Amino acid sequence: MRTYEAYLKLVEDALCPQLRSLGHIPEKLLEAMEYSLSAGGKRLRPVLLLAACDMAGGNVEEALPFACALEMIHTYSLIHDDLPAMDNDDLRRGKPTNHKVYGEDVAILAGDGLLSAAMELMLRAACRMKDLRGVRAAEAIARRSGVTGMVAGQTVDVTEEGSEPTLERVEYIHSHKTADLITAPMEAGLLLAGAGEDQLKAGVDFGFHLGLAFQMVDDLLDVEGDAAVLGKNTGMDAALGKLTWVAAAGVEKTRADAAEHVRIACDALELFGENMNFLKNLAQSTLVRVQ
């Protein structure tokens, strides 16, 4: 069984080379894209994709372009989300945001470029396969990051900011803005491994519930976390009138719900037997920060 660090290293070593493998990219554009792509982070989504593929007996090397593509999509969404017209953030992971360094025009294009590059990498990889696994994996990622997925969640988040934080509204936003991009790597990784319908359904259930728990923990940390440890200001969600789980349900219920969603997520993977251990441990570890 590979460790988190082993998956992480595969991703870190491949991200920029994958982008550069597409051909000649204008210097300024490449620099702006790599600035945000190299800013670190947990790389949770690509690690999940590789681990899901591994769990079902797939080829991790073959899955690598899809893992990198997903991280590029996550990165594009952060660059656009930070723009003055959106969340207007100056800092991300302790560094100036993309538009602060490269200007708004290049930041918009760097985001567009990363999304385009992600699709191109997946399509190029899919062209090399003899069957439709690659196309189906790319379709899952496009669907979950698109207008019925992540972009849908983002839109409701920005257009309904400041409105009443009902549970229904909060669940819609986080099911799409966050959980869809945690479910995408499970679905894509399993499709690449040639998993059957039962395994796919289990992976999708795991991703959905882990995604909700993950966002609940994030919302709790904004209320209870230590700004110095997190590397960002806390209390921002409430100040901005963000539609969070804590705003909708309170701290105690959110903490209990997060634990419950992690339990449901882990139960869903039982059919993978011992092979599920890596993902089970990973899911349970998300709760540690708020216990």
Contacts with its own copies by CB under 8 A lie at 19, 22-26, 28-30, 33, 76-77, 80, 83, 85-86, 103-106, 108-109, 111-113, 115-117, 119-120, 123-124, 126-127, 132, 134-136, 138-139, 142-143, 145-148, 151-152, 154-156, 158-159
Q: Which is nearer to its own copies, 140 or 287 (CB)?
A: 140
Minimum distance of its own copies from residue 207's CB (angstroms):
18
Q: Which is nearer to its own copies, 146 or 194 (CB)?
A: 146
Q: Which is nearer to its own copies, 119 or 251 (CB)?
A: 119
Minimum distance of its own copies from residue 142's CB (angstroms):
4
Counting Cβ atoms within 10 Å, is residue 251 exposed (0-12), middle (13-18) or buried (19+)?
A: middle
Minimum distance of its own copies from residue 94's CB (angstroms):
24
Q: Which is nearer to its own copies, 113 or 211 (CB)?
A: 113
Minimum distance of its own copies from residue 160's CB (angstroms):
9
Type of residue at 277: N
Minimum distance of its own copies from residue 19's CB (angstroms):
8
Minimum distance of its own copies from residue 290's CB (angstroms):
30
Minimum distance of its own copies from residue 177's CB (angstroms):
11
Q: Which is nearer to its own copies, 156 or 251 (CB)?
A: 156
Q: Which is nearer to its own copies, 145 or 244 (CB)?
A: 145
CA distance 101 to 90: 10
Q: Which is nearer to its own copies, 147 or 230 (CB)?
A: 147
